[in-house]
Amino acid sequence: APRRTALVRAPGPRLADGLVSFAERRTVDVDLARRQHDAYTDALRAAGWKVRAVASADACPDAVFVEDALVVSGDVAVLGRAAAPSRAGEAAGAERAARDLGLRVERIEPPGTLDGGDVLQTDRAVYVGLSTRTNEDGICQLARLLGGRPVVPVRVTGALHLKSAVTALPDGSLIGLPDAVDATALPCLRVAPDPAGAHLVVLGPGHVLLAASAPRTAARLAADGLRVTAVDISEFEALDGCVTCLSVLV
């Protein structure tokens, strides 16, 4: 039976010190971020997901972006390897959470680096961003560990991670910002009408979670017949985060 567990990690006390490479640096309101995180997990619960907390990593400001620490495919959890030194301490809690779920744990070894935010899984393929965070060696290791699933590297130039620019709809088709990536590797990429992008989480059949910053995309997807839940994640977007990075759906 499919598990329906969402792993999340609550924002830590140092959230406002998180890394910023693309967003314009501004002060992060940590209390507001906590409320936004609560609303995000409420949306997951309302869609039927059992929310489980990953142990906190309070020394790591970016630990809330839990999807970067592990990639789950079937019964395997691959622990990422952070290129950003300040994020190295996030792996231990992610590993414990994966073991608690009964997953087989594998890891990306040096010199490989890989953030889960670069790993976009569809039924057809696993697209992996070649980014400032994920290198070729990390992609090759992931391909071996996922044993036989087709892995397609995608160069990412205009975003932090592949999934900050491109995600998949419930039918597996791709949507996002073609100018932020090498779109030649991405078949039939639908252009998201919101300049901020349109990363989304598939909550269930025909149901997607979108950031409130993508209202035009939300309207179009609703017109297509999808059920759209929108959440305001402004304080995470200020730290280059998006809806995908706040959870790992197992």
Q: Which residues bind ligand CIR (CB under 6 A)?
A: 18-19, 21, 62, 65, 67-68, 84, 87, 117, 160-161, 163-164, 239-242, 244-245
In whole angstroms, how close is the CB of 71 to ligand CIR at the nearest point?
Answer: 11
CB of 246 vs ligand CIR, minimal distance in Å: 8
The SS3 call for residue 184 is helix
* Closer by beta carbon to ligand CIR, 163 or else 220: 163
Residue closer to ligand CIR, measured from CB, 201 or 242? 242
Residue 179 CB burial class (10 angstroms; 0-12, 13-18, ≥19): exposed
Nearer to ligand CIR, 68 or 95 (CB): 68
List the catalytic residue out of 37, 60, 199, 245: 245
CA geometry: angle 89, 238, 219, nearest 5 deg? 120
Residue 11 CB, nearest approach to ligand CIR (Å): 12
At 8, is the secondary structure helix, strand, or coil?
strand
- Is 188 catalytic? The answer is no
3-state SS class at 164: helix
Name the residue with the smallest CB distance to ligand CIR: 117
Q: Is 245 a catalytic residue?
A: yes
Q: Which helix (H) or strand (E) holds 220?
A: helix 215-223
Cis peptide before 111 (omega within 30 of 0): yes
102, with CB counted inside 10 A (0-12, 13-18, 19+), is exposed
Q: In terms of CB distance, is 17 or 222 closer to ligand CIR?
A: 17
Rounded to the nearest whole angstrom, what is the least distance from the CB of residue 225 to ligand CIR in the complex? 28
Active site residues: 161, 245
